[in-house]
């Protein structure tokens, strides 16, 4: 989860929001994040839940899709061997009177895809491109000094199949667990690296996968990627003036629309099929940066009724201007939750007794200096990491990729006999029409199964 940051920034947010929030927050959700990597939290008992309740917590947030991997036994994705018994955890929590939420990372995932269940290994073809044409999956073949983007692996929201895939995972979890809340995180584009270097450059360099570029070109008549080569998708030419004269604004609005469309899609899914579940999204505390650079327009999502809450975490120093929330309407501010680490010098109950009215809801992360600390993950050398991905780049004409289906899939280097769907069912005992195998031809399904072991 990308919003584990210094506690002091939580109090910075409090100073911004306390003047705006209403007293109804006293009875709002007060979630405790249950870290699936913490042995002490992997098997909650009734005694554990009693102790948690005594701290002023009335809701529990369980990760379902976290760091690129599903965290329960799923029919759609292979689960890691250390997955917890989520149905039992949810049942116990409900019996004890807690609200329960499921947490899903969406377009950005951390971790290292050495596990075959990591989404970056299953679908490296969905990783985004920078404006210079570099794909995230290409970073791992440039020597040991290369590394993934600061945020993690970014799956391009402009690829329709990505949204379909994530919605399929959400649907399975909703069908099985019927949570009170669905919390979506990383519903945005990455932070540009220069923003952290103090350069003042805030343009979004990602999102240039050929699929959204082609979609944009078909609607607007030019390719948004104008680089050194000045050649667009399909070999077309785009002039610099086309991009400079309002073209970049159109492209930014297009990318923002991809994220909006996903949030709206999840909202409509809940309304139509799972009305008891409410939707919240994590948002950057600066609404200007969120909308302009991260394409995460959470105030508008609240206005349109797509989400019931925006969760503002305490972030790194220097990226939360104090005036950022002053322009947000009261009707939006009253739906803002705060997220941060548990105070070290007082219990959450004591903290909430004095500060609880400052937000409509809360999410706390345990901060136990003498307790659990997640084991750091050491990335393997980039050459080894490349070999963990399930494909060599498919060498085909760009137009062939873009004009076929919406995804790239691995192709065998050796021509194999034709495989039929009935044979796959008989051999492997499963339905190849379900994700992540749907949209693949039968040969592709077999290759995918072989990649998964």
pLDDT tens, the chain, 453 aa long: 444 333 334 433 443 344 334 333 346 899 999 987 777 777 888 999 999 999 889 999 999 999 888 888 888 877 666 667 889 999 999 999 999 999 999 999 987 677 778 888 888 889 998 887 777 777 655 544 445 556 788 999 999 999 999 999 999 999 999 999 999 999 999 987 654 444 444 688 899 999 999 999 999 988 888 643 444 555 555 444 455 556 888 999 999 999 999 999 999 999 999 999 999 999 988 888 899 999 999 999 999 999 999 998 864 433 333 345 666 788 888 899 888 776 666 677 877 777 777 778 889 886 544 344 444 444 433 333 333 343 333 222 232 222 223 332 323 333 333 444 554 454 445 566 666 666 666 566 656 665 554
Number of H helices, E strands in the chain: 17, 11
Which residues, 6 or more positions from 149, have their beta carbon under 8 angstroms from its beta carbon?
Answer: 136, 139, 190, 193, 206
Which two structure tokens, joined as six digits, stand for 312? 């503002």
What sections of 361-453 are H helices per DSSP? 382-388, 398-403, 421-428, 442-452
pLDDT at residue 269 in the model = 96
DSSP H or E stretch at residue 275: none
CA distances, 416 to each of 25, 237, 343, 400, 420 (Å):
62, 39, 60, 21, 12
Pair 354, 379: CB distance under 8 Å: no
Question: Does 8-408 carry CATH code 3.30.1440.10?
Answer: no
Cα 173 to chain centroid, rounded: 16
Alpha-carbon span 63 to 152, nearest angstrom: 17
pLDDT at residue 177 in the model = 96
Annotate 365-400 with b (16+ C-beta within 10 A) or e (fewer).
bbeeeeeeeeeeeebeebeebbebbbbeeeeeeeee
pTM comes to 0.74
pLDDT at residue 246 in the model = 67
pLDDT at residue 27 in the model = 65
pLDDT at residue 394 in the model = 28
DSSP H or E stretch at residue 7: none
Which two structure tokens, joined as six digits, stand for 118? 């990591």
| Segments making up each domain of the chain, as ranges | 8-408, 419-453
pLDDT at residue 85 in the model = 85
What sections of 335-404 are H helices per DSSP? 348-355, 382-388, 398-403
Which residues, 6 or more positions from 139, have their beta carbon under 8 angstroms from its beta carbon?
Answer: 146, 147, 148, 149, 382
DSSP string, 94-122: HHTT-EEEEEEE-SEE-S-TTSTTSHHHH
pLDDT at residue 328 in the model = 75
pLDDT at residue 329 in the model = 83
């Amino acid at each position: 989860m990308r919003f584990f940051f210094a506690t002091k920034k939580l109090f910075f947010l409090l100073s911004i929001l306390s003047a705006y929030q209403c007293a109804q927050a006293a009875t709002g959700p007060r979630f405790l994040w249950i870290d699936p990597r913490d042995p002490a939290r992997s098997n909650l008992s009734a005694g554990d839940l009693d102790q948690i309740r005594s701290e002023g917590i009335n809701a529990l947030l369980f990760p379902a899709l976290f760091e690129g991997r599903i965290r329960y036994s799923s029919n759609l994705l292979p689960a890691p061997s250390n997955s917890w018994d989520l149905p039992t955890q949810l049942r116990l929590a409900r019996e004890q009177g807690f609200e329960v939420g499921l947490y899903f990372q969406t377009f950005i995932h951390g971790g290292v895809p050495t596990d075959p269940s990591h989404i970056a290994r299953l679908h490296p073809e969905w990783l985004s491109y920078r404006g210079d044409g570099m794909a995230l999956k290409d970073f791992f073949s440039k020597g040991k000094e290369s590394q993934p983007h600061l945020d993690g692996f970014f799956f391009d929201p402009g690829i329709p199949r990505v949204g379909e895939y994530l919605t399929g995972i959400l649907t399975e979890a909703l069908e099985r667990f019927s949570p009170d809340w669905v919390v979506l995180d990383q519903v945005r584009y990455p932070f540009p690296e220069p923003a952290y270097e103090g350069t003042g450059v805030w343009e979004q360099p990602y999102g240039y996968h050929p699929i959204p570029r082609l979609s944009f070109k078909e609607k607007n008549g030019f390719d948004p990627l104008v680089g050194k080569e000045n050649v667009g998708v399909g070999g077309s030419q785009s002039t610099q003036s086309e991009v400079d004269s309002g073209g970049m604004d159109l492209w930014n609005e297009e990318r923002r629309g991809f994220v909006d469309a996903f949030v709206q899609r999840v909202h409509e899914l809940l309304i139509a099929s799972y009305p008891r579940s409410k939707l919240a999204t994590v948002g950057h505390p600066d609404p200007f940066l969120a909308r302009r650079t991260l394409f995460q327009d959470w105030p508008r999502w609240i206005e349109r009724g797509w989400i019931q809450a925006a969760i503002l975490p305490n972030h790194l120093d220097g990226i939360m201007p104090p005036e950022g929330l002053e322009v947000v309407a009261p009707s939006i501010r009253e739906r803002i939750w705060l997220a941060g680490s548990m105070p070290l010098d007082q219990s959450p109950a004591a903290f909430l007794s004095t500060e609880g009215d400052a937000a409509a809801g809360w999410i706390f992360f345990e901060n136990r200096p003498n307790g659990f600390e997640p084991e750091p993950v050491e990335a393997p050398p980039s050459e080894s990491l490349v070999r963990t991905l399930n494909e060599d780049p498919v060498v085909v004409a760009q137009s062939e990729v873009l004009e076929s289906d919406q995804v790239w899939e691995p192709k065998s280097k050796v021509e194999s006999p034709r495989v039929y769907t009935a044979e796959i069912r008989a051999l492997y005992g499963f339905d190849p029409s379900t994700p992540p195998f749907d949209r693949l031809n039968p040969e592709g399904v077999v290759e995918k199964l072989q990649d998964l072991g």
